[in-house]
């Protein structure tokens, strides 16, 4: 059978997109070095008015690497980075790689308990942390392997006079500043005064990053991503957009997605730096700051998550704002409702394409085409060098159009889980990564995520996929956000519960009965939500993914 026969998606690739990408045997930091050589005077990082050029960023990353080496960081050592999107994050991550270390992304929202688990699990002896977050670490310091702590503050990279005013604001907001003057604690800015280090030439198969998965299936696990994995995924994303060549050194990337999440790290930070773009860093993805940044910096690339696009669409007066510079947006991390994409494209004139990925694959494996047919509701096709199949419980491929588990293979797929051989064996079989997502493929090779295996609702023997119900809810004029979960039911086993945030103008005017009647027009009776709950907001992860698990737990407590 021809390759197009086994990979029907190849026939639908945009012109110029290759079937495979060649992954050179280089460390990830080489991308930053090459952009510094090509665009030394171009702005690499823009942070609240402070800018660093590519030339400056490259030198500072190497200075930081030398600082880490002087503190005792050796090749292979894990360096935990607990920072929001700031210049310090970029310098800390690339500095770690240049010193031969392994970055460990730590969510700044972690509680002391979660922080203790991750630092201990990774065996991280070095922690780079924002001063505001330090009290959480100090609470569990003695229960971690950390020997050295490098502390930075937002003010370290603010322009004058913001750097003088910020401490006053922090004091007013009761935010902790500074750090204990005792052994083992160091100022980030002091490390930047060292001479630039000679870069450590890592083997492509060496670990570059431990990316901890959200722990939705129990305890959080570290996906082991190599230099080759991360380099491959940047090149796969670049190959997917043949039109990006004309923006080389000219594009503007919005860094609103947190870099400590692998989606933000690869699609915004690594790809942006590889392309010589200006990275506009937002420490928090607040919608007001997002809209302001798009207007002020004429952003061309705006990678986001569905909840961010929902907030954008509903931002007061958005139609009158100057947001037409946006050229392309990749939506990931959660299913993109069709209505949300349609509205966003009407406002901006940009292309909003849904993609798909997971931490274990660096993360992107699928995307709709940049120029070709976008099939709404589809995650698109596998990227160059990615193989994908839909299989049954026994790992056998299912007939075309049928639902099964999505499995993927490619140079971007992780080595395994850190110190978890049994979990690795479950997730990786013969090089195939079992995603845990239920999917189907159409005759053109476009894939559709039907739902997470564990989120599927079985009511009275029927399989119900929350995404399908959510898609219908999003078509209702009053619905701003929707999440559907299965809750225990004595008769049906499980039943469908919908948690909704209504648009402000509809609150108090639309009832549960209205929503139910609407669903009955568009869904089979067994899929209609039997429980409808209106809320002011939905619980979300740090990257903006709606946390269905929390809704289930809250509901169970209320029924308690």
pLDDT tens-digit series, residues 279-290: 999 998 899 999
- For the stretch 174-197, pLDDT in tens is 777 777 888 999 999 999 999 999
Cα of first residue to Cα of last residue in the chain, in angstroms, is: 57
- At residue 441, does pLDDT exceed 70? yes
Q: What percentage of residues in the chain have a pLDDT greater than 90?
A: 75
Mean pLDDT calculated for residue range 329-347: 88
187 φψ region: left (φ > 0), alpha (ψ -120 to 50), beta (else): beta
What pLDDT sits at residue 216? 33
Calpha distance 406→340 (Å, rounded): 25
Q: What is the pTM of this model?
A: 0.85
For residues 560 and 552, give the distance between their C-alpha atoms in angstroms, rounded to a whole number.
12
Residue 215 is predicted with a pLDDT of 41
Reported as a pLDDT band with limits 50, 70 and 90, residue 277 is: very high
- Tell whether the model's pLDDT for residue 92 goes beyond 80: yes
Whether CATH 3.30.300.30 fits 456-559: yes
The two most distant CA atoms of the chain are separated, in Å, by 70
Residues 6+ apart with CB under 8 A from 352: 309, 329, 331, 336, 341, 344, 345
Average the pLDDT over each of 31-40, 280-289, 437-446, 484-493 and give the range with the smallest value: 484-493
Distance of CA 46 to the CA centre of its chain: 20
Q: Which residue has the higher pLDDT, 560 or 81?
A: 81
Q: How many CA atoms lie within 13 A of 89 on its CB side?
A: 29
Give pLDDT tens digits for 451-466. 666 777 878 777 787 8
Other beta carbons within 10 Å of 505: 9
Q: Which residue has the tokens 């669903």?
A: 519
Helix/strand number for the chain, H first, E second: 18, 26
pLDDT at 2: 42
φ, ψ (nearest 5 deg) of residue 546: -70, 130
Q: What is the mean pLDDT of the chain?
A: 92
Residues contacting 252, CB < 8 A, separation 6+: 277, 278, 280, 297, 298, 299, 300, 301, 325
pLDDT at 76: 98
- Assign 488 a pLDDT band (cuts: 50, 70, 90): confident
> Which residue in this structure is represented by tokens 């909704």?
500
Lowest mean pLDDT among 142-146, 269-273, 555-559: 555-559
Q: Is residue 365 a contact partner of residue 373, using CB atoms and an 8 Å limit?
A: no
Instruction: Provide DSSP, 38-63.
Output: H-TTSEEEEETTEEEEHHHHHHHHHH
């Amino acid at each position: 059978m021809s390759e197009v026969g086994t990979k029907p998606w190849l026939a639908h690739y945009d012109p110029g997109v290759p079937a495979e990408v060649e992954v050179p045997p280089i460390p990830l930091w080489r991308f930053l070095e090459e952009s510094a050589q090509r665009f030394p005077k171009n702005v690499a990082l823009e942070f609240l008015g402070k800018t660093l050029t590519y030339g400056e960023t490259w030198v500072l990353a190497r200075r930081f690497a030398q600082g880490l080496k002087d503190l005792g960081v050796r090749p292979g050592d894990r360096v935990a980075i607990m920072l929001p999107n700031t210049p310090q994050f970029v310098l800390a991550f690339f500095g770690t790689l240049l010193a031969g270390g392994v970055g460990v992304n730590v969510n700044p929202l972690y509680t002391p308990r979660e922080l203790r688990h991750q630092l201990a699990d990774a065996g991280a002896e070095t922690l780079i942390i924002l001063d505001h977050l330090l009290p959480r670490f100090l609470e569990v310091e003695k229960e971690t392997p950390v020997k050295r702590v490098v502390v930075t503050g937002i003010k370290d990279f603010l322009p004058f006079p913001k750097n003088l005013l910020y401490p006053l604001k922090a004091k007013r907001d009761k935010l902790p500043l500074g750090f204990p003057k005792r052994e083992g604690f160091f100022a980030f800015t002091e490390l930047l005064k060292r001479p630039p280090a000679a870069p450590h030439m890592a083997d492509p198969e060496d670990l570059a990053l431990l990316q901890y998965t959200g722990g939705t299936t129990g305890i959080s696990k570290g996906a082991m991503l190599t230099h080759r994995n991360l380099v491959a995924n940047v090149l796969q994303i670049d190959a997917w957009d043949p039109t990006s060549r004309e923006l080389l050194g000219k594009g503007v990337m919005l860094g609103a997605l947190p870099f400590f999440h692998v989606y933000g790290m690869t699609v915004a930070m690594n790809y942006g730096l590889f392309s010589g773009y200006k990275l506009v860093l937002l420490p928090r993805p607040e919608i007001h700051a997002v809209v302001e940044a798009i207007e002020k910096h004429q952003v061309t690339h705006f990678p986001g998550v569905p909840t961010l696009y929902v907030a954008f669409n509903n931002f007061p007066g958005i139609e009158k704002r100057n947001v037409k510079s946006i050229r392309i947006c990749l939506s990931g991390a959660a299913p993109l409702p069709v209505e949300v994409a349609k509205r966003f494209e009407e406002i901006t004139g940009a292309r909003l394409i849904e993609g798909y990925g997971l931490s274990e694959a660096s993360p992107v494996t699928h995307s709709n085409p940049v120029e070709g047919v976008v099939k709404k509701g589809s995650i698109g096709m596998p990227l160059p060098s990615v193989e994908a199949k839909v299989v049954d419980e026994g790992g056998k491929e299912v007939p075309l159009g049928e639902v099964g588990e999505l499995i993927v293979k490619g140079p971007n797929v992780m080595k395994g889980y850190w110190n978890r051989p049994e979990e690795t064996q479950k997730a990786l079989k013969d090089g195939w990564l079992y995603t845990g997502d239920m999917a189907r493929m159409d005759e053109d090779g476009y894939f559709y995520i039907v739902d997470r295996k564990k989120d599927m609702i079985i009511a009275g023997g029927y399989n119900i996929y929350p995404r399908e119900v959510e898609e219908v809810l999003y078509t209702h004029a009053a619905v701003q956000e929707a999440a559907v979960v299965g809750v225990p039911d004595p008769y049906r086993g499980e039943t469908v519960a919908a948690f909704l945030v209504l648009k402000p103008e509809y609150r108090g005017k639309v009832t549960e009965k209205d929503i139910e009647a609407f669903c009955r027009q568009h869904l089979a009776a067994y899929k209609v939500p039997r429980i409808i709950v209106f809320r002011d907001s939905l619980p979300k992860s740090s990257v903006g993914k709606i946390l269905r698990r929390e809704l289930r737990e809250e509901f169970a407590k209320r029924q308690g």
